[in-house]
Structure 1
Amino acid sequence: MIEPVSIGLIGCGVISPAYLKAASTFNVLNFAACADIDAEASARCSENFDIPSMTVNELLARDDIEVILNLTIPSAHANVNLAALQSGKHAYCEKPFALNTVEGKRVIETAHERALRVGCAPDTFLGGGHQTVRNALDEGTVGIPIAGTAFMMNHGHESWHPNPAFYYQEGGGPLFDMGPYYLTALVNALGPVRRVAALTARAFDTRTIGSEPRRGEQIDVEVDTHTAGTLEFMNGAIVTVVMSFDVWLHSNRFIEIHGTNASLSSPDPNGFGGSVRVSRKDRTWDELPLTHGYLENMRSIGLADMCVGIRTGRSHRCSGELAYHVLEIMEAFGHSSATGEHIELTTTPDRPDPLPTGLAIGELD
């Protein structure tokens, strides 16, 4: 039996309950402390999940904590990761990995210098839906991948989120908020991206909050809210990606991959399960049986996988290198739009290892 890894949570906001609830599935995770710059948020987390609450500095100073789970806002991700690494702790953070590749590279280099691990969400590609997609591709179901599409289009988060301003600041927008789910799923399926060509725009300069407690408040839009790009993968596949907070409704599928033998329709990459469909030469959609489990909300499976890697020495699937590659893809959208050029990427991470089939819930190997 693997010895549990002691986890310190920094950032006790909206996403933290999903992590803490799912974490009970994995015996390798032991939450030892929580902290937030908002002491009330940390106190609520402590009360709801029976985790000792303390300040961020107190948590970072504890020698018994091995991993920091960083669930802060995007603008703090890199700095909190660096603080964790500099205190001798591994770091795992929510997406995006950083606001830009300069920040992200500093985190990667610091982890390497200190022989520590860094990981990053999303981990939804480890769910049964996208592991089934990966299995189908690896078995040659579609033949040679040629093309694909990925669509995430809605009208933003201000209608439901209690504090949505950061979605329209640097590190937000549809690409940095939702793009990591789609791009990580695509890299898991097809491998790394070679180059990017894109255009970006924004439809509104302000947004009106529709949720309590800030209903009616105007927030400034500081980032582009509609992005459309074409990715050329190292394997030759060409995939069209559209991420938007400017669309009221659409009828496109989440992700489709088209090959020499068949087309594959993938489920929502912001979830763990969902339907996987294939269309062969008969041109009808047939549902594929799911090859893997973990179909419910399993946020923390990526953290658990990293902790198993810490104990066993194997690589972890939601790696900093994968997240940095996705960050480089997203940053390339803006650079391409501004310059009118294709942007060649500098990183070529390996595809994450697929999960084995037949795992019991709570197992990762």
Structure 2
Amino acid sequence: MGKPVRVGIIGCGKIAGQYLESFRRLEDVILVAVADLDPARAQAAADTCEGVRAVPVEALLAADDVDLVLNLTVPAAHAGVALRAIAAGKHVYGEKPLAATTAEAREVLDAARAAGVLVGCAPDTVLGTGIQTARKAIDDGLIGAPVAATATMLTPGHERWHPDPDFYYQPGGGPLLDMGPYYISALVTLLGPVSSVIGAASAGRSERTIGSGPREGQPVPVAIDTHVTGVLEHTSGAISTLVMSFDAVQSTSANIEVHGQQGSLAVPDPNHFDGDVRLFALGAEDWVALPVSAGYLGSGRGYGIADLAATPQGDEPRAGGTLAYHVLDVMDSLLASAHTGQAVAIRSTAERPSVVALADIASPGVPVPSGSTAIRE
């Protein structure tokens, strides 16, 4: 793909601000244009970044100085926008999930392959020091052969804080489709691809009430499952238990735990890029925090684009379309299993992404945290 990569954003909602912040630190990612169905929102985003222009969507897709389209639209629009970008000859990096359905996601990957362009997809949180330090600990044999993992995300619902939470409760949203990509991408990064699943799900309420912003007090209809649990069998033989809920309040469990024959790892929140990784070795008396040993230091949303740009030709990006498709396939299969009561074999697969060497790829002048052994690329 080459560096630097020139980016145009389609969709300037709440998540866009986090990408803009990362792009200010990344020399190999240059934001040149933004677009949104609401021109005022696009202009507001452009005004925060020197040299960035706000344009209509069609103009962004046609722009010669846009190499990659960052697709930050709502989930139901992910596939449609991605296909338009691919048809325009652009590489694509999208927010998760890759598409609302596996059929749409397959169409995106097939179109990209035919056009000779790359597809990347969030979450790139798996490239940060939290998940990557845990991955290196597993690779280094600190817990022995992995046998099991648990992944737990419990929250009373995004309507409590999000001013426009409607899409979270429509197809393509929900706790599994919204938060599951973080957890399942992390599990695949740690333990490898999934071969089969069995799930159960429920929807406790038919509507939710917005808790903040100008629409506070308004009802939001619920059209998806709001509590999903499942068992994932990895091709490695390890078994993961997953709980994703918008119906619970809190948990004392680590977000992810990985258990091996010689020890257990407590892994930080995969919705974040960093956090302590703790080890309880066989025969030890307590948990011990491991030193940061892998991943991009100080990373944030958008680092997956820099990683994609640096991917050797012919290789699959770590936060790539194949992994995102596999994760979506796992989630769709979990929901299908929940509704039929039968185990579902996963037809897709994805290679376990390579570990990220400890590095700071931010712009020169950004300090490396004290005590780290990071290298600057």
Tell me which moved more, 324-333 or 352-361.
352-361
Task: Give 1:138 shift.
Answer: 0.7
CA separation of 1:103/1:216 partners in 2, compared to 1, >3 Å: closer, same or farther? same
Q: Which residue does the alignment assign to 1:6? A: 6
Which position in structure 1 is the counterpart of 2:195?
Answer: 194
Alpha carbons of 1:247 and 1:42: their partners in 2 closer, same or farther (altered >3 Å)? same
Correspondences of 1:161-240 after superposition (within 5 Å): 161-240=162-241
Counterpart position of 1:27: 27
Which string of whole-angstrom CA distances, capped at 9 and with x for unpartnered residues, describes residues 100-121 of structure 1? 1000000011111111100000
Per the TM alignment, residue 360 of structure 1 is displaced from its structure 2 partner at its CA by 5.3
1:322 is matched with: 323
> Which residue pairs with 1:135 in the alignment?
136
The correspondence of residues 332-343 of structure 1 with structure 2, limited to 5 A, is 332-343=333-344
**Any unmatched runs of 5+ in structure 1?**
none
Q: How has the CA–CA distance of structure 1 residues 171 and 283 changed in structure 2, closer, same or farther, with 3 Å as cutoff?
A: farther
Aligned to 1:289: 291
CA distance in 1, matches of 2:168, 2:5: 32
Counterpart for residue 304 of structure 1: 306
CA displacement 1:135-191 (0-9 Å, x = unmatched): 001111111110110000011111111111111011110001110000001100111
Alignment check: 8 A CA contact 1:122 1:180 kept = yes
Q: Which moved more, 1:179-188 or 1:61-70?
A: 61-70
Identity, % of aligned pairs? 44
SS for the counterpart of 1:33 is strand
Please state whether the residue corresponding to 1:49 is helix, strand or coil.
coil
Determine if contact 1:271/1:297 at 8 Å carries over to the other structure. no
SS of 2:93's equivalent in the other structure is strand
Q: What is the aligned partner in structure 2 of residue 53 from structure 1?
A: 54
Offset at residue 364 of structure 1 (A): 8.3
User: Structure 2 CA distance, aligned partners of 1:155 and 1:364?
Assistant: 41
Task: Give the SS at the match of 1:158.
Answer: helix
What is aligned with 1:160? Answer: 161
Match of 2:259, SS?
Answer: strand
Letter in 2 for 1:268: D
Tell me which residue corresponds to 1:356.
357
Q: What is the TM-score normalised by the length of structure 1?
A: 0.96
Gapped runs of 5+ residues in structure 2? 364-374
Tell me the TM-score normalized by structure 2. 0.93
Letter in 2 for 1:178: M
1:295-320 C-alpha deviation (Å, 9 max, x unpaired): 5451110011112237x665421110
Task: Give the match's secondary structure for 1:65.
Answer: coil
Instruction: Check whether the contact 1:274–1:295 (CA below 8 A) recurs between aligned residues.
Output: no
Tell me, yes or no, if structure 1 residue 39 matches structure 2 residue 39. Answer: yes
Corresponding residue pairs, total:
363
Write the deviation string for residues 83-109 of structure 1: whole angstroms up to 9, x where unpaired.
Answer: 100110000000111111000000011
CA distance in structure 2 between the aligned counterparts of 1:358 and 1:121, rounded to whole angstroms? 20
Tell me if structure 1 keeps the 8 A contact 2:201–2:229: yes
Displacement of 1:56 after TM fit? Answer: 0.2
